[in-house]
């Protein structure tokens, strides 16, 4: 199906839905069951990235469950602010939802926006990827402890990368050395446009360590260009059983992870939220979704509604604490 025919068919469906609604108003005062027209799913990050891939997969599977087209729309830019604002400020009628990411709890600490997790109706958390500690394959470091010791011994010389200034992986690094009682700026951050360019710098010898998720580094680990020394999680990653947790390697109790969840604007009608939650739960449990997530190495987790809200609140608070500690909060 081409772009135009997709638009055409969705506008035809909208038109039909509109007529049905108009007719329904005269016949019976009750509204037709939600959803009666196509949905828009906003992805706050660019086409081709991990968030986009999961968003498009969810969109196509939700479409089957809901019986209405789900149009995936990328609203990129401004370190995620643009897209996250678009979701939060959409009309809360259940027809605009979006994927929100860990950055939703960071942007307000950085002073970029007023938005917090409280501005959304949480549907469910579906993905969680812990940060890893990656170094070049020919690096003299062989354990996370080596890295910590070197940073302590010569502050300012060992540089890290993997995302933009103040991004989630920057926090992972700053928080890690902060938890070892080293000044967070002892390992300066070299901003990059994401994990891939950061890893490219690592392989080219431009930086010394990259604290992106181990999943993002998988291809270069396979290629023998990069080695992972630890995961900043409570348990090891099933796909990399030989990589210890940071606590096992160094005794530091520091964890950091990126997450993705489905949410809508605040104050969505209860009926819409319930329908979406039920449909999304089916999608999450489907073989296709599970296979897709595992195939790409995305961590799977399921926290619906209130649990997701609690998760966001806890994440927001701990991120704020770290951002203040490392001087990234405004």
Partner 1 sequence: MEALLQTIGLAFTLVFQPYVLGVMLMAAIFGLFVGSIPGLTATMATALLIPFTFFMEPVPAIAVIVTTVAMAIFAGDIPGALLRIPGTPASAAYCDEAHALTLKGKAELALGTSLVCAVIGGVMGSLVLALTAPMLAEFAIKFSSYEYFWLACLGLSCAVTISTGSNLKGFVSLLIGLFISTIGIDITAGHPRFTFGSVEMMGGVSFIPAMIGMFAISEVIRYIASPNSITAPPQQGIKHVFRGIGATLSQYKLNVARGGFIGAIIGILPGAGADIAAWIAYAVSKKFSRQKEKFGTGHVEGLVDAGTANNAGLSGAWVPALVFGIPGDSITAIVIGVLYMKGMNPGPTVFLNQPELIYAVFIVFFVANLALLPLGFLAIRLSRLVLKVPRNILMPVILMFCIVGSFAINNTVFGISIMLVMGLLAYLMEENGFPVAPTILGIVLGPMLEDNFMSSMIKSDGEISGFFSRPIAAVLGILVVVVWVIPLLRFLYSATRSGKPTAP
> Which residues here bind partner 1, judged by CB under 8 A?
2-3, 6, 47-50, 52-53, 56-57, 59-60, 73-79, 81-82, 85, 110, 112-113, 156, 159, 161, 164-166, 188-193, 196-197, 199-201, 203-207, 218-220, 222-225, 288, 292, 295-297
The region, left, alpha or beta by phi > 0 then psi within -120 to 50, assigned to residue 227 is beta
**What is the smallest separation between the CB atom of 52 and partner 1, expressed in angstroms?**
8
Q: How many CA atoms within 13 Å lie on the side-chain side of 218?
A: 11
- What backbone phi and psi angles, to 5 degrees, belong to 303? -135, 100
Among residues 81 and 144, whose Cβ is nearest to partner 1?
81
**What is the smallest separation between the CB atom of 81 and partner 1, expressed in angstroms?**
5
**What is the smallest separation between the CB atom of 50 and partner 1, expressed in angstroms?**
8
Among residues 110 and 174, whose Cβ is nearest to partner 1?
110
Among residues 85 and 237, whose Cβ is nearest to partner 1?
85
Residue in the block written with tokens 């405004």: 330
Share in percent of the chain as helix, strand, coil (round to 5): 45, 20, 35
What six digits make up the tokens of 248? Answer: 């096992």
**What is the smallest separation between the CB atom of 35 and partner 1, expressed in angstroms?**
19
Among residues 220 and 272, whose Cβ is nearest to partner 1?
220
**What is the smallest separation between the CB atom of 295 and partner 1, expressed in angstroms?**
6
Residue in the block written with tokens 């909208």: 14
Among residues 200 and 275, whose Cβ is nearest to partner 1?
200
Contact yes or no for 198/207 (Cβ under 8 A): yes
From the number of C-beta atoms within 10 Å of its C-beta (0-12, 13-18, 19+), residue 244 rates as middle
Q: How many CA atoms within 13 Å lie on the side-chain side of 185?
A: 5
Residue in the block written with tokens 């089957």: 64
Among residues 18 and 77, whose Cβ is nearest to partner 1?
77
**What is the smallest separation between the CB atom of 4 and partner 1, expressed in angstroms?**
8
Among residues 24 and 197, whose Cβ is nearest to partner 1?
197
**What is the smallest separation between the CB atom of 120 and partner 1, expressed in angstroms?**
16
Contact yes or no for 74/52 (Cβ under 8 A): yes
Residues in the chain: 330
């Amino acid at each position: 199906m081409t772009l135009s025919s997709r638009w055409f068919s969705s506008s035809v469906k909208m038109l039909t839905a509109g007529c049905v609604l108009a007719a329904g108003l005269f016949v019976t005062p009750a509204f037709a069951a939600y959803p009666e027209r196509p949905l828009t799913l906003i992805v706050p990050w660019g086409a081709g990235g991990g968030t986009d891939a999961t968003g498009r997969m969810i969109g196509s599977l939700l479409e089957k469950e809901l019986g209405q087209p789900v149009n995936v729309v990328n609203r990129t830019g401004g370190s995620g602010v643009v897209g996250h604002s678009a979701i939060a400020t959409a009309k809360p009628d259940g027809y605009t939802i979006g994927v929100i990411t860990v950055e939703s709890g960071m942007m307000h600490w950085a002073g970029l926006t007023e938005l917090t997790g409280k501005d959304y109706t949480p549907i469910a958390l579906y993905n969680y990827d812990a940060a890893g500690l990656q170094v070049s394959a020919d690096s003299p470091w062989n354990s996370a402890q080596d890295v910590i010791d070197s940073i302590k011994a010569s502050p300012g010389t060992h540089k890290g990368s993997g995302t933009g200034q103040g991004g989630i992986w920057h926090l992972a690094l700053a928080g890690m050395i902060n938890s070892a009682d080293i000044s967070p700026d002892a390992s300066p951050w070299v901003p990059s446009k994401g994990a891939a360019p950061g890893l490219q710098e690592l392989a080219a010898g431009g930086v010394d360590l990259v604290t992106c998720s181990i999943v993002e580094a998988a291809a270069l680990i396979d290629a023998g260009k990069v080695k992972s020394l630890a995961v900043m999680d409570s348990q090891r990653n099933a796909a990399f059983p030989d990589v210890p947790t940071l606590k096992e390697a160094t005794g530091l109790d520091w964890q950091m992870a990126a997450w993705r969840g489905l949410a809508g604007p605040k104050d969505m009608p209860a009926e819409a939220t319930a329908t979406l939650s039920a449909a999304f739960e089916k999608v999450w449990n489907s073989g296709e979704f599970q296979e897709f997530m595992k195939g790409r190495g995305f961590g799977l987790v399921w926290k619906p509604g209130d649990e997701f809200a609690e998760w966001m609140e806890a994440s927001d608070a701990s991120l704020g604490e770290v951002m203040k500690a490392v001087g990234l909060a405004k």
